Amino acid sequence: MKHLSLKPALLSLALSLCSGSAFATQASWTTLGGGDATDWGMDTSVVCGTDPGGAFLWTASLGQQSLGGGEAVAVSSSGSVVFGNIQDLAGNSVAGLWSASSGWTSLGGVGGSSGTSISSAYAMSGDGTVATGLAWVNAGTAGAFRWTPAAGMVLLPQAGAGSSRGNAVSEDGSLIGGWEESASGTRRAAIWDGSPGPTFILTTPSDSVGAGEVWGFSESNQFAVGSRQGQGFVWDAVGGATLTGTLPSTDIFRTGSANAVSDDGQVVVGWYRVSFPFDVRATIWTPEAGIQELRDVLIAAGATGVPNLRTAVAVSADGSRILAHDGFDWGIADLGTGGATSSFCYGDGSGSACPCGNNGAAGAGCANGTGQGASLSRAGTASASSSSVVLQATGLVPNQPGLYFQGLNAINSGGGNAFGDGLRCAGGGVVRLQVRTADASGSSNTTSDIAVRGSVSSGDLRRYQLWYRDPLSSPCGSGFNLSNGVEITWGA
């Protein structure tokens, strides 16, 4: 075993992470592709970004695939929809959506332009039905927009007449974060929640402007993160804003931002520019240890081969995994906290054949009567002693019941076997966890304690799947189908 001499601050972080969201195993860094990663799906099994060839989509089953287009900024949890920036047929720069069936489609604008720019993409909800960014009203003024399939691109309401931009969308699509200019042109951190106007979250009795920008939300919608006064912040409605601090630097152009936050608000990731213009460091913040370089934290916790990471883009809901890049390649940092999760057994044609050729979307199960496959993912902390794990499924048949279940084994070496209209992925020592009915949008999730129902202990590897009804339009005629599989290695 290699013994490490930790700086006091790093030791404090290691100890703090070893209590509560504990280091269950040694930390690690895994390089997975080239270019800059920009977003991932909720269970971290799909990633999008931009490399020298343009936009890319990475899945655990197929690796990194080129999508063409200009750049990708966001991906749906299932990997079926990517949001990014492209050129339209007239050569203008516009926000666009990609899907495997349609390729890139322009979302247009709101009637204005600035040069050849009409609109810019910034963020999207987990199901791919809500997107935001910036749309030009005229050559000098731009507005934050909310795009949905039903309404198209609509400008968000503003408190004033200046410009605004949407930088972030919550996982469920109910919140948009970004900024709106004050009368003096200062960017004010703003959240749009469907009210007649934005909420400026950083204003106080002594600060009527509330300068800053919102760049991300926790999956629970409780916390928001962003930039203020040259550093990151984490905010919630009860506690207000906490600045995440600065790395050591004497450069007058030093600055930084927070990009993402864990569900409990205890892990915040982002970047800090130590020296202008290129010395940028990926960062991690916890309340106990403050801000640290992510690379230093990983190495102190036993990770090897960690490059000089420049930006931490996203963090998993339990704070254990971080998407980051060094400007050349991207990968995933695992802090060794809260258990590990991965998806397997896809009905997208990458593994075992679906029963009647009914392939689903990338990373999902075999297609059901709606034309899509069910996608299963995990949120929350996989701690055997204090679990907050929620199994979540999308792409189901609306208003039909399904059984969430646990198994010991990955069937057919993880490829699954044909069963009904889908693939049976999990088996052996099966435990029925909970029956849940999909809502009108075809989504459902567990509400019971998965660790208790499954009788798991620290170190246990368990597989999970959803078996659901499809009685009216079953593609293969069996009347039922299954999601992809998810496996969890439970932490302490």
* 30-82: pLDDT as tens digits: 999 999 999 998 778 899 999 999 999 998 778 999 998 899 999 998 899 99
Q: Which of 334, 368, 395 is the last residue of a domain?
A: 334
Q: Is the pLDDT of residue 268 over 90?
A: yes
**DSSP character at residue 67:** E
If asked whether residues 273 and 354 sit together in one domain, one would say no
Q: Which of 317, 334, 351 is the last residue of a domain?
A: 334
If asked whether residues 246 and 345 sit together in one domain, one would say no
408 within domain boundaries: yes
If asked whether residues 437 and 301 sit together in one domain, one would say no
If asked whether residues 354 and 270 sit together in one domain, one would say no
Write phi, then psi, for 315 (nearest 5 degrees).
Answer: -135, 145
**Per-residue pLDDT reduced to its tens digit, 282-318:** 999 999 999 999 999 999 988 999 999 999 999 988 7
279 within domain boundaries: yes
In one-letter notation, the amino acid at residue 435 is V
357 within domain boundaries: yes
392 within domain boundaries: yes
Which contiguous run of DSSP H or E holds residue 14? helix 8-17
Question: Tokens 């209209």 identify what position?
Answer: 421
If asked whether residues 300 and 250 sit together in one domain, one would say yes
> Mapped to the 3 state alphabet, what secondary structure does 279-345 carry?
EEEEEEEECCCEEEEHHHHHHHCCCCCCCCCCEEEEECCCCCEEEEECCCEEEEEECCECCEEEEEC
If asked whether residues 196 and 302 sit together in one domain, one would say yes
CATH classification of the domain holding 360? 2.60.40
Q: Is the pLDDT of residue 426 over 90?
A: yes
If asked whether residues 326 and 352 sit together in one domain, one would say no
Q: How many CA atoms lie within 13 A of 304 on its CB side?
A: 1
The whole model's pTM is what? 0.72
Q: Is 442 left (phi over 0), alpha (psi -120 to 50) or beta?
A: left
pLDDT, greater one: 105 or 387: 105
390 within domain boundaries: yes
If asked whether residues 235 and 293 sit together in one domain, one would say yes
Q: Is the pLDDT of residue 23 over 90?
A: no
Cα 30–Cα 31–Cα 35 angle in degrees, nearest 5: 150
CATH classification of the domain holding 168? 2.130.10.10
Q: Which of 334, 360, 388 is the last residue of a domain?
A: 334
Q: How many CA atoms lie within 13 A of 432 on its CB side?
A: 6
Percent pLDDT > 90 in the chain is 81
3 within domain boundaries: no
SS3 assignment, position 217: strand
pLDDT at 232: 98
Instruction: Provide the β-strand partners of residue 86.
Output: 94
If asked whether residues 111 and 177 sit together in one domain, one would say yes
186: domain range?
Answer: 8-334
How many domains are there within the chain? Answer: 2
Which contiguous run of DSSP H or E holds residue 94? strand 93-99
Of 11-20, 36-45, 462-471, minimum mean pLDDT range:
11-20
**Per-residue pLDDT reduced to its tens digit, 215-235:** 999 988 999 999 999 999 999
SS3 assignment, position 59: strand
1 within domain boundaries: no
Q: Is the pLDDT of residue 173 over 80?
A: yes
